[in-house]
Amino acid sequence: MHNRLRVGVFTQHHTESLDLKLSPLDQFIKKWPTFKPIEAFRAHLGAFGLTGEIALRPMYLLSGGQKSRVSFAMITFEKPHILILDEPTNHLDYDAINALILALNNFAGGLVVVSHDEYFINGVCDRLYLVENQAVKAFSGTIQDYRKKITKELGY
């Protein structure tokens, strides 16, 4: 891995890495204490719908979707080359999932997604890989083709 490669990782347990007593803005200040100006943090949070008072509320008062937005904002702040997303649609409503699909389709870097959300997969992924028997292999088909394969294998 090149020493300048920036990788952003979103886990399905992302809230465990957040200090729920801090506000979204304070999360940024804690992670990047020497970064100036603070207004850049506010603008970046605002791009994720975390504007005004929401950016100043303690995290424990935010919804699951808002906490996810804070995590997405944090992993994208340093402009990663590759995003690794593990179940990114958990806690997101339909509008937030569509916004995420749009943002990821405009992302110029690499993307690895682990998800059970077929709608999301169809909206974002152009290649599927199966992980089975301790191996990873390309799947030549759509998520619907995979569903048919599994249904057939299970005898339904």
φ, ψ dihedrals at 87, nearest 5°: 50, 60
d(CA 12, CA 156): 30
Residues of the chain with CATH 3.40.50.300: 7-117
Q: Per DSSP, which regions of 11-133 are E strands?
A: 82-86, 110-114, 128-132
pLDDT digits (tens, 9 = 90+) for 15-68: 888 999 999 999 999 999 999 999 999 999 999 989 999 999 999 999 988 999
pLDDT confidence of residue 156: 87
Supply the pTM of this predicted model: 0.83
CATH superfamily, domain 7-117, is: P-loop containing nucleotide triphosphate hydrolases (3.40.50.300)
d(CA 29, CA 146): 44
Question: Residue 120: pLDDT band by 50, 70, 90 thresholds?
Answer: very high
Task: Check: CB of residue 122 under 8 Å from CB of residue 143.
Answer: yes
Cis ω for the linkage preceding 24 (within 30 of 0): no
Where do we find the tokens 């992924």?
125
